[in-house]
A and B are shown apart, each in its own frame.
Chain A
Amino acid sequence: DIQMTQSPSSLSASVGDRVTITCRASQSISDYLNWYQQKPGKAPKLLIYAASSLQSGVPSRFSGSGSGTDFTLTISSLQPEDCATYYCQQSYSTPLFGQGTNLEIK
């Protein structure tokens, strides 16, 4: 089975910072990697699909990159409303989510 390892599990950053979250698959998943944002008490929201495609309506400060086993979600300039938990998810085989990254604003 494919395992997904997301890091860090939590981070704290200041408004305006560039933030990077990584996700590693235990085997190649091509570009079948998606990223989600979840705020407390709310359903997750798709940010990035196919590793680097921005979902409609998502601000352009969010971007994704990577292929094979190593992937990155980048927020180019952190905004207060980006405080949330972020999940990666592989769709190469049976869908599997990473453990999540809790992003706090300093």
Chain B
Amino acid sequence: EVQLVESGGGLVKPGGSLRLSCAASGFSFSYGWMSWVRQAPGKGLEWVGRAKSRTYGGATDYGAPVKGRFTISRDDSKNTVYLQMNSLKTEDMAVYYCTTEGAYCGGGSCHGFDFWGQGILVTVSS
């Protein structure tokens, strides 16, 4: 059974930093594309960024609102993906979900967020 468990959320002041972790189990983590998706209170889903698998060079991509402030990394030896969030803004306040992006892979890319963690709340407030 695939499990994704996020940790590290909490309250942080604007301008502060926070690191989220996502511990994965139940699948071959090193082959999986890992993404973070967030949802602000009462709002829709927003893709934050991804770390591709080593097979695809381990490259990272980011959504425009977080590019330059957030960094995604992965430790395949620990089956864990991280989201380092710096220079946090009030608009970054959201539930952050860790998700696998592997409903189907082909043509050099993977698609579809097939497994999700339970989500973790990040509150940005002074």
Does the CB pair A34–B47 fall under 8 Å?
no
Contact with B along A83-106 (1 / 0, CB 8 A): 000010101001111111000000
Does the CB pair A34–B111 fall under 8 Å?
yes
Contact with B along A37-50 (1 / 0, CB 8 A): 01000011110011
Does the CB pair A50–B104 fall under 8 Å?
yes
Interface residue count on the A side (C-beta < 8 Å): 22
A93 to chain B minimum Cβ distance, whole angstroms, is 10
Of residues 38 through 89 on chain A, the ones whose CB sits less than 8 Å from some CB of chain B are 38, 43-46, 49-50, 53, 55, 87, 89
Contact with A along B104-126 (1 / 0, CB 8 A): 10000101111011110000000
Does the CB pair A89–B113 fall under 8 Å?
yes
**CB-defined contacts of A44 to chain B, threshold 8 Å:** 37, 45, 97, 113, 116
**CB-defined contacts of B111 to chain A, threshold 8 Å:** 32, 34, 49-50, 91
The residue from B63, B103, B104, B119 contacting A43, defined by CB atoms under 8 A apart: B119
Q: What DSSP secondary structure best describes chain B's contact surface?
A: strand
Does the CB pair B44–A87 fall under 8 Å?
yes
27 contacts between A and B (CB under 8 A): A32-B111, A34-B111, A34-B113, A36-B45, A36-B113, A43-B97, A44-B97, A44-B113, A46-B112, A46-B113, A49-B104, A49-B111, A50-B104, A50-B111, A50-B112, A53-B103, A53-B104, A55-B103, A87-B44, A89-B45, A91-B112, A95-B35, A95-B50, A95-B101, A97-B45, A98-B44, A100-B45
Which B residues are closer than 8 A to A by beta carbons?
35, 37, 44-47, 50, 61, 63, 97, 101, 103-104, 109, 111-114, 116-119
Which A residues are closer than 8 A to B by beta carbons?
32, 34, 36, 38, 43-46, 49-50, 53, 55, 87, 89, 91, 94-100
Further 7 A-B residue pairs, CB within 8 A, beyond A34-B113, A95-B47: A46-B112, A49-B104, A50-B111, A50-B112, A53-B103, A96-B47, A97-B47
